[in-house]
Structure 1
């Protein structure tokens, strides 16, 4: 952990005091020290693992606030279980809010994933909070009253002792912002009941209101990223823009799971604004330290100096009386029943597989994990669609590898051995509570869909050896595959779209030999196209010009459909051959990153033409070479 090194010296005339702000973000229900996807203990991350760090930080700085920046209640099987249980028992207490109440949070905002289970669940869950929940830029639709989903800001008063020994009262204004794209991403659940305002517009208005309330300090909980605005969609860069614009004293960022400050950053500032982005899933705690000064007794308090850092989650404290042990135990006790219920759910057997299912090579031609998704959805949907309609417009299914390294790191892969297939394996293959929608589409949309997906790969010139295969930091789930079609990807050509889905001038397109059942596609051919609700709403910059309502929209989530399909057949045949492959490029080879667990799959490596190199990236990925 990088130290702040704040100097609290002052002058005889100027009183000053130290205020510390602690923050979590993107916890994604990682509360208990257990990984429900792998069913293994995991004490290196999570809210319980942060409890000792929170206790230590408070002991060091009596004037301290603890805040959360959203994407809290969705993200693992405990979150799904809590939502399902609440459908039967609406007043059931939510484990995340229970744990936060135990730790004494002072305020929170919500992120986009808070809306994944619907507005009713969101409202009932956060009504249990013993702290204010704020949100300034998402509103109920005018037909629903037009108010913000939560109050736009809260003013927290803190009594503190300044450097002169005087007791003073601080007024701290706290507001929150969620991605404006939330109304698009969860359109199917929100159904036009929520509207969004741009973060800059909301920020200007709420800053004025907080200053009118006499706030000494203003804090923005901005559930958005810190990427350069010109290179990012709004949700990935809005926190940087907000900090650079000035106005707020502190900005807490998140959403992209990219922590800030990094080790090479001096003091965690953007312009004059102190900024922190905590590590996701409770990997670390964001910490801001401010020295507030008041030049005269009748003047207001203002930040004179400030810096941010991150405190890592630590190992569990051992033994009664160990620092942080009491807080750690209180968190565990508050959610132990939910932990036990979740374990029972994820350990439920639903079928068997005779071959491994892995995502280690999903972007190099292995189909075992995406194929399970496509098979399960196809089985369910083909029984629900009219046979005559299917004969006229065959069913195609969009699928992807939803956990294949990237920001999740070298351990973030699906790797299921042959044998019993459990519910946790389904959650691992498809970790989101999305629904599936079926649209009637024509060939041009399908081709554009695949062209957008192909932008995850870099362009490779003939005779280039050892070229990087993947575009930097593009998530694996942005490589959509369409089950039911066959095609080639020509990496020697420039991509037709960039990684935000914007057309690239001069991008000739990479998709070659697009066919269906062995024959070329007629440009006017029609198909039923099954796609996840999140993608159907336009996420990832994929085409969304459906022009009509879906012809089928099951209420069940994708994981529920997959589990039911597998349970019906008992034994699942694993399809390993992907419906796509790379076109040959004379004299070229590429380097493909995967986790060290990929080395166990030697037969699959050979089938795909991959060979491990001796090179390991700084983040711990192993590089595999493949000739094109």
Structure 2
């Protein structure tokens, strides 16, 4: 009986083969025939499934996979030939680390549910070590891409690319990652142990050679910004050099790029957190037996106008509830608001133009655990604040959004000043006569503006970049090149300064990861510190200030009033990530017709006097509402004219709340 069945099976197989040879191949296409393919991309989702910001425990209307999923469903219904790609920085931030020990991370589960075709790794995927990343990779149903990561044996860590065939069209998706991970993870080398990161510009040449003749369409999914970092080229330069790409998806920079042509390559970036979904539409046509791209177009779809997918919300409700419960745990009390006003003016963050209790508190924590003489910290979110009342875990995530660990290193005065010039002095645009606001360099992110505790200093923005840190003192004495300190800073900055040769990695004296393990992140230390203190009283030491800018133009109040009313806008960078990138200048506003030139207020050049040398025993006073300069002078027993001259005030009647005055000493 079994023999008979084998004979029948053999006969059936032969018949199928004959029929297959007789039927024309389904992959044979007539000349002029067209296929339309859509590529959708997300990037830098940073732990967001629900449209919810756990740092403030509040709903958002344009973030999360659940929002993006509604876009994806709509587009797939319109065109089944749709490819879905995520461009990395997926499992970090927004309380995602709470689920690092899950067998399959919720963010990976969400991508599986959405049926992603590819996932390119981002630099923040390496924040938690290779065990966490390994579980994420294992749990992903989508192929993992990053061509430029190599293991010690010379093989690639994950896939360099994938090829998906759609109606006979072979679409290659190439994945790359920024190669600066060793720079940022320098303090935790186990996070990338045994891995080498190759410059994506160089690796692109290799991958394109490997793909030669294998694909009709090549899509680049690069966790890399349009512009480069640390002297390396960005994605725009790579696209310009390789027109073989049909389109390229940028990431990492959190930019909104709906589409731009770079030497024939269509370049897009979908911002971050699910705020946008990039859509690329390709039309291909058969010509001479080949598929040729005859049309391509792109746009960024704003998720704000889409509902949050109810199916996804239901699937992840338990995770959402757990995250909300965690962030609302009370860890202590706060006696007063850290900031009375988040913005000096709408669009100008207070904490980036003057010393505040907010950054002083972060530095206080860092100095407490390291025992360092000096500490440096940046404010990662310019809208951060902590209000009087309960201090909750979400407040920690609000003021310190990244997963950095804490380091301390021995430095001398020369190294300290070089660091300060690079990460404090160069952040500001140079003052010009007529400016009534202080502004920031549009090419520098706020997280690269460090504020220092333990030293007193001034930033003279009338001076050239590299010469702006003046009157630098430590315990009342000028800082010389030879004097040595212990400096506290996060691992991200430690790695960058080491790579730049500003500090020596061998001079490391403290590492919170070595001391506390996975509980050694700065966030964890802030929680620990608050729990130990129980009650936090915000204080500001006013140890730094910006000088070299005479903002007291007679029309300053008028300009400020116009900003508050919305009649004037504080300019932001093109990608929206850096606020306040150009000073409001009275002379310019008059020329542009935006400001009436009252009699006696014609634009005239204003001379700038050199920054005064502040004595070692410097005393400062922060102006409060209702203060008058003559009252302050009387309070300190000094001459009004002397006080005005010492602070370079052209008009003694024009001071403003929050302004820090230096009080001359006998």
Distance in 2 between residues matched to 1:224 and 1:464, nearest whole Å: 38
Which of residues 66, 78, 82 is equivalent to 1:60? 78
Aligned to 2:495: 537
Distance 1:547 1:58, change over 3 A: closer
Which of residues 29, 41, 54 is equivalent to 1:36? 54
Aligned to 1:292: 284
Contact 1:490 1:512 in 2 (8 A): yes
Distance 1:260 1:539, change over 3 A: farther
Aligned to 1:217: 217
Q: CA deviation at 1:570?
A: 0.5
Which of residues 309, 314, 320 is equivalent to 2:299? 309
| Higher RCO (CA-CA < 8 Å; seq separation 6+) | 1
Q: CA deviation at 1:546?
A: 1.2
Aligned to 2:5: none
Structure with higher Rg: it is 2
Aligned to 2:269: 277
Correspondences of 1:188-337 after superposition (within 5 Å): 188-191=187-190, 193-212=194-213, 214-227=214-227, 233=230, 237-245=233-241, 246-261=243-258, 268-296=260-288, 299-315=289-305, 317=307, 328-337=309-318
Contact 2:355 2:545 in 1 (8 A): no
Correspondences of 1:605-624 after superposition (within 5 Å): 615-617=568-570
The 3-state SS of whatever aligns with 2:358 is helix
Which of residues 69, 87, 112 is equivalent to 2:123? 112
Q: Taking structure 1 as the reference length, what is the TM-score of the superposition?
A: 0.79
Aligned to 2:429: 458
Moved more, 578-587 or 418-427: 578-587
Distance in 1 between residues matched to 2:61 and 2:321, nearest whole Å: 17
Which of residues 63, 69, 72 is equivalent to 2:90? 72
Distance in 1 between residues matched to 2:323 and 2:437, nearest whole Å: 44
RMSD: 2.9
Distance in 1 between residues matched to 2:282 and 2:328, nearest whole Å: 47
Contact 1:465 1:590 in 2 (8 A): no
**Alignment of 1:563 onto 2:538:** no
Q: CA deviation at 1:62?
A: 1.6
Distance in 2 between residues matched to 1:548 and 1:486, nearest whole Å: 27
The 3-state SS of whatever aligns with 1:552 is strand
Contact 2:144 2:158 in 1 (8 A): yes
Distance in 1 between residues matched to 2:555 and 2:364, nearest whole Å: 30
Q: Taking structure 2 as the reference length, what is the TM-score of the superposition?
A: 0.75
Which of residues 378, 382, 400 is equivalent to 1:400? 378
Which of residues 355, 358, 371 is equivalent to 1:366? 355
Contact 1:22 1:288 in 2 (8 A): yes
Contact 1:69 1:111 in 2 (8 A): yes
Which of residues 138, 142, 153 is equivalent to 2:161? 153
Correspondences of 1:80-95 after superposition (within 5 Å): 80-83=97-100, 86=101, 92-95=103-106
**Alignment of 1:487 onto 2:479:** no
Q: CA deviation at 1:80?
A: 2.0
Aligned to 2:179: 180
Q: CA deviation at 1:402?
A: 1.4
Number of matched residues?
531
The 3-state SS of whatever aligns with 1:96 is helix
Distance 1:590 1:456, change over 3 A: farther
Distance 1:435 1:150, change over 3 A: same
Contact 2:38 2:280 in 1 (8 A): yes
**Alignment of 1:428 onto 2:398:** yes
User: Structure 2 stretches of 5 or more lacking a match?
Assistant: 1-28, 343-348, 514-519, 586-655, 662-666
The 3-state SS of whatever aligns with 2:69 is helix
Distance 1:541 1:403, change over 3 A: farther
Per-residue CA distance 1:401-438 (angstroms, 9 max, x = gap): 1111xxxxxxxx11221111100101111111111111
Distance in 1 between residues matched to 2:555 and 2:501, nearest whole Å: 29
Distance 1:618 1:364, change over 3 A: closer
Per-residue CA distance 1:174-223 (angstroms, 9 max, x = gap): 121111112211122235532121212211111122235x2222111011
Q: CA deviation at 1:547?
A: 5.0
Moved more, 544-553 or 360-369: 544-553
Moved over 3 A (4+): 232-235, 314-317, 539-544, 584-592, 610-614, 617-628
Q: CA deviation at 1:316?
A: 5.5
Distance in 1 between residues matched to 2:282 and 2:399, nearest whole Å: 43
Per-residue CA distance 1:526-557 (angstroms, 9 max, x = gap): 11111100000016997643151411112211
Q: CA deviation at 1:612?
A: 9.0
Distance in 2 between residues matched to 1:489 and 1:62, nearest whole Å: 57
Per-residue CA distance 1:273-324 (angstroms, 9 max, x = gap): 122111211011100000111114xx2323121111111104564xxxxxxx
Distance in 2 between residues matched to 1:33 and 1:309, nearest whole Å: 22
Contact 1:352 1:572 in 2 (8 A): yes
Moved more, 535-544 or 299-308: 535-544
Which of residues 326, 330, 333 is equivalent to 1:349? 330
The 3-state SS of whatever aligns with 1:241 is helix
The 3-state SS of whatever aligns with 1:203 is helix
Distance 1:611 1:355, change over 3 A: farther
Distance in 2 between residues matched to 1:305 and 1:441, nearest whole Å: 57
Per-residue CA distance 1:33-67 (angstroms, 9 max, x = gap): 11101111113221111111111111111211000
Distance 1:545 1:282, change over 3 A: same
Distance in 2 between residues matched to 1:371 and 1:420, nearest whole Å: 19
Contact 2:355 2:544 in 1 (8 A): no
Aligned to 2:471: 513
Per-residue CA distance 1:113-132 (angstroms, 9 max, x = gap): 11111122111112101111
Per-residue CA distance 1:71-114 (angstroms, 9 max, x = gap): 1111222x22122xx1xxxx522011101111111111011111
Per-residue CA distance 1:148-172 (angstroms, 9 max, x = gap): 22111112233x3xxxxxxxx2322
Contact 2:409 2:508 in 1 (8 A): yes
Which of residues 138, 142, 156 is equivalent to 2:149? 138
Aligned to 1:572: 536
Q: CA deviation at 1:451?
A: 1.1
Distance 1:569 1:562, change over 3 A: same
